[in-house]
Amino acid sequence: MEQLFSLLDSTIRVATPLVLAALAGMFSERSGVVDIGLEGKMLVAAFAAAAAAFVTHSPWLGLLAGIMASVSLAMVHAFVSVTYNGNQLISGMAINTIASGITPVLGLAWFQQGGNTPQLDDDSRFHDISLPFADALSNVPVIGHLYSKLLSGHSILVYLTVLIIPVVSWVVYRSRFGLRLRAVGENPHAADTAGVSVARVRYIALFWGGVLCGVAGTFLSVYQTGSFIKEMTAGKGFLALAALIFGKWRPLPAVLGCLLFAFADALQIRLEGVDLPIVGQIPSQAIQVIPYVLTVLLLAGFVGRAVAPKAIGVPFVKSR
Amino acid sequence: MKFGQPSTLPRWAQLTVLPALNLLAALLVTGFVTWMIGEDPWECLQLLVSGAFGSGEGIGYTLFYTTGFIFTGLAVATAFHAGLFNIGGEGQAYLAGLGVTLVVLAFDHTLPPLVLVPLCILAAMGFGAAWAFIPGWLQARRGSHIVVTTIMFNFIAYSLMLYLIGHHLIEAGSQNPTTREFGQAAWIPAIHQVAAGMGISLPSTPLNLTFVMALLACGLFYLLVWHSRWGFQLRTVGVNESAARYAGISVSKTIILAMCVSGALSGFAAVNELLGSTHRMNVSFTNGVGFVGIAVALMGRNHPVGIILSALLFGGLTQGGLELSFEKPVITREMIIFIQGLIILFCGALENLFEPFIAGLFKRKEDK
């Protein structure tokens, strides 16, 4: 029981940045703009947030800096994809490369610690929060355990993410903006004829994507590790992209995809060096590779069919 | 592959002026960042250039890096001509390294160099092509997007190699995840050794005969893409798939074959690194060579001459950047990755950004 709780607990921790990045990708891709730059946006956000939190001693200013850094890269991507009609894939690739180059350069120049930022002290980090009565209820069987061990004791960013999920879902499916977003991603010409500004919708979608990636990056550096470490996103952006595809570009299934990948990751750490019956030791790489293999199989239509928004990756040129 | 906004400039200006301006823009941003971290951009540029081209040794290293970049640049360009964006060069080079290693570890004490080295090259090409074949096949037959699949394949390749090196190929008793040293029979002769044989003395660098293969590959690439039936099919598919299908070209066959050729070319980067320089495989031997290939192909506009020049630029940046990081500890090799990203942005995503400005100049000249 203890084991299971701690497994689920780390699943939530690992899943949080994935969920945020996957939702960021969903905004962008639902509007018809491919976003393979999630990784880069998270990375600059992680760096900017850690640097700002270290200098200002405030995690909240760190969060703000993280969001600003991520949004500025998102706007570069928006300029290339929407205003300039450039190649979105190449732009995303450029964003990832720029991010993994600039963060250690600035980190070394500003903090002289081999490209990382100094460890944040307690005041400048996000902390675990105990939900009300968590201590009092911790001895109540099952429900008390569930509440105090699993639901309580996470960072404010985790609870924020939990709130964001239904909000995003509502925005995409129920709001006016969501309707336009989906219309622009499926058939920009029709949306344009109906008087929707394709460019405006795409800019807004990329902006919110940038905000979400900013929170995701901040989570990694200002909460999880307490400092920026070179290349600390380590493929999480692509994992989020995989989860997004896995969820067929829909918010809730994408979140489930993130939870699944995070669970596999949490499980893998516990299985390290453990002899299982019949199969023996499972190499950690075999589990790490699962999300990527699943995504490939899904894209190939071997497990269901992943149907991307129709206008994805195609620059919109207004018909005259 | 369709790019940004169309250009109305004459072809020569499109191929020279625009890339030059894009490069300049990338360097200006880099200069700004250099200034921001408290260094003199001009001095750094001088150190970089002299580090890359200022000595025989520097040039040797520059050309060694150039060799790998030419191959991955050609690889990306081959796919580009068919309208495919192959991000998987890194994984393909990685797997090619596995092919090389397996052949070497099995035969380096039994086969003579003249048999072993070609066998290794074939293995590199085969493994690279096989790793590119799957995304190609999936794109052509199952409609899955090549970009996402190749990204996923890079990660799969990385996990696979981590496992293989860590559990099976690691040198017995070693703590580092590397294989044992390859037998001498599998070493591709360095250029300075060849030159010494002819009585010319050159400084000792890892530059090896793979460089000659790279130049040959550029020539072959030119003939194949612009003067062969297959090249015509390749470019037709790249420009307009439905037109190609209507003309009776098998689009899926062309796509799959283009990816295989692309993967095989990436494989040579592993040959250059493993047989030409390190003589053993470790977990990080590719070191981003596949990604640099993307920047090289974009900047070289998918033409072999452009690719040689931009590979030389990136080779120089790599070598000069290393020298620069010795002189200026605050500037690390990541600065080169940053420049690479800027070049991808300006030469790839924003390739015709300065076009309206230049087109204005051309127009004025015509009016006179």
Q: How does pLDDT run across A72-87, given as a tens digit for each residue?
A: 999 999 999 999 888 8
Residue B181's pLDDT is: 87
Kind of pairing between the strands at A128-129 and A154-155: antiparallel
Residue A299's pLDDT is: 81
Give the distance from residue B343's alpha carbon to the nearest chain A alpha carbon, in angstroms.
8
Smallest CA-to-CA distance from B210 within B65, B36, B53 is with B65
Query: B63-95: per-residue pLDDT in tens?
Result: 999 999 999 999 999 999 999 999 999 999 999
Which chain B residue's Cα is nearest to A307? B144
For the residues A147-162, what does the mean pLDDT come to?
82
Tokens representing A72 are: 């500025």
Query: Choosing among B1, B148, B347, which should be mutated to test the A contact, i.e. which has the most A CBs within 10 A?
Result: B148
* CB contact set of B162 (below 8 Å; sequence gap of 6+): A285, B177, B283
Average pLDDT, chain B: 89
This complex has an ipTM of: 0.90
Average pLDDT, chain A: 88
Place of tokens 């080779």: B315
Smallest CA-to-CA distance from B72 within B346, B314, B263, B332 is with B263
Q: Identify the band that residue A141 occupies on the pLDDT scale cut at 50, 70 and 90.
A: confident
Burial of residue A118, with CB atoms counted within 10 A of its CB: 0-12 exposed, 13-18 middle, 19 or more buried = middle
Write out A61-82 in H/E/C secondary structure. Answer: HHHHHHHHHHHHHHHHHHHHHH
Residue B2's pLDDT is: 46
* CB contact set of A112 (below 8 Å; sequence gap of 6+): none
Q: Identify the band that residue B1 occupies on the pLDDT scale cut at 50, 70 and 90.
A: very low
Give the containing element (helix H, strand E) for A155. strand A154-155
Which chain A residue's Cα is nearest to B328? A109
> End-to-end alpha-carbon separation of chain A, Å?
65
* CB contact set of B362 (below 8 Å; sequence gap of 6+): B9, B10, B13
Read off the amino acid at residue A171: V
Burial of residue A78, with CB atoms counted within 10 A of its CB: 0-12 exposed, 13-18 middle, 19 or more buried = buried
Distance (Å, whole) CA B124 – CA B120: 6
For the residues B160-179, what does the mean pLDDT come to?
85
Residue B16 near residue B309, CB atoms below 8 Å:
no
- Stretch among A258-272, B18-32, B316-330, B332-346 having the lowest mean pLDDT: A258-272
A280 and B CB contact within 8 Å: no
Query: A112-133: per-residue pLDDT in tens?
Result: 888 888 888 888 888 887 777 7
- The better pLDDT of the pair A313, B151 is held by B151
Is the pLDDT score of A304 beyond 70? Answer: no
Distance (Å, whole) CA A160 – CA A12: 13
Query: B297-332: per-residue pLDDT in tens?
Result: 988 889 999 999 999 999 999 999 999 989 888 888
Residue B180's pLDDT is: 87
Query: Looking at the partner chain, which of A89, A286, A292 has a beta carbon nearest the beta carbon of B85?
Result: A89
Q: Identify the band that residue B368 occupies on the pLDDT scale cut at 50, 70 and 90.
A: low
- Stretch among A40-54, A266-280, B122-136, B276-290 having the lowest mean pLDDT: A266-280
Distance (Å, whole) CA B74 – CA B57: 26
Distance (Å, whole) CA B302 – CA B285: 26
Residue A320's pLDDT is: 57
Place of tokens 């460890």: A119
For chain A, the residue count is: 320
Residue A212 near residue A204, CB atoms below 8 Å:
no
Residue B4's pLDDT is: 52
Query: Looking at the partner chain, which of A76, A84, A100 has a beta carbon nearest the beta carbon of B4?
Result: A84
A73 and B CB contact within 8 Å: no
Distance (Å, whole) CA B80 – CA B300: 12
